[in-house]
Amino acid sequence: MARLRTWICRIATAGLLWSTQAYAASPADNLPMLSNLHSDGLRAQDTGKPIVILFSLPGCPFCHVIRQHYLMPLLRDRKIPEQPILREVDITSADPVKGFDNAVTSHQAVAKEFKVWIAPTVVFLDHKGRLLTEPIVGGDTAGMYGGYLDRAMEEAERKIAARQTNTTRGRP
């Protein structure tokens, strides 16, 4: 299945003239790779911010565009208290990560858990790993991605704020 996903991305990007070497970035230009959803969940609960995960494939030019032009600015252009918790998952990787339940899992398993088969896909989660919005699937082919991302971020933050208000009022 992982090979099929890799081929799907390769076929989708075959028409592009860019080479994958053009996307080599310094570590400062990359999103933090997912390593511990449990601690990210605790941080999300403390800060009231969503967990935003980019599901990507190595060398995927669409993933690069989403990462560099839309998600990295959320870290660069916002003050720390206003930043979401941003992570990246390589949907082909067996690298270990801790899940929300603190059990060891993998990047592949996290992608499967959230039913992610296409890269790039961006999901917005609350501190328990519940989806806050519909995932954003695919790249920026129509120049509308910024609007989709802004709308999803606003919806995610609004839902978190509403849940916090309900919790303070004694509702779950």
User: What was the pLDDT predicted at 58?
Assistant: 95
Longest dimension (CA), the chain: 56
User: What was the pLDDT predicted at 145?
Assistant: 94
Amino acid code (one letter) for 15: G
Asked whether residue 139 carries a pLDDT value surpassing 50, the answer given is yes
Domain ranges across the chain: 2-11+25-168
User: What was the pLDDT predicted at 143?
Assistant: 86
CA dihedral 142, 30, 114, 159 (to 10 degrees): -80
CA dihedral 114, 118, 120, 123 (to 10 degrees): -20
The string of pLDDT tens digits covering residues 58-93 is 999 999 999 999 999 988 887 877 889 999 999 999
What is the rounded CA–CA span in Å between residue 37 and residue 84?
A: 14
Asked whether residue 21 carries a pLDDT value surpassing 70, the answer given is no
Give the count of beta carbons closer than 10 Å to the beta carbon of residue 107: 22
14 or 36, greater pLDDT: 36
Average confidence (pLDDT) over 104-125: 97
CA-wise closest residue to 33 among 54, 11, 57? 54
Instruction: Pick 2-11+25-168's CATH classification: 3.40.30.10, 3.40.50.300, 1.10.4160.10, 3.40.50.1970.
Output: 3.40.30.10
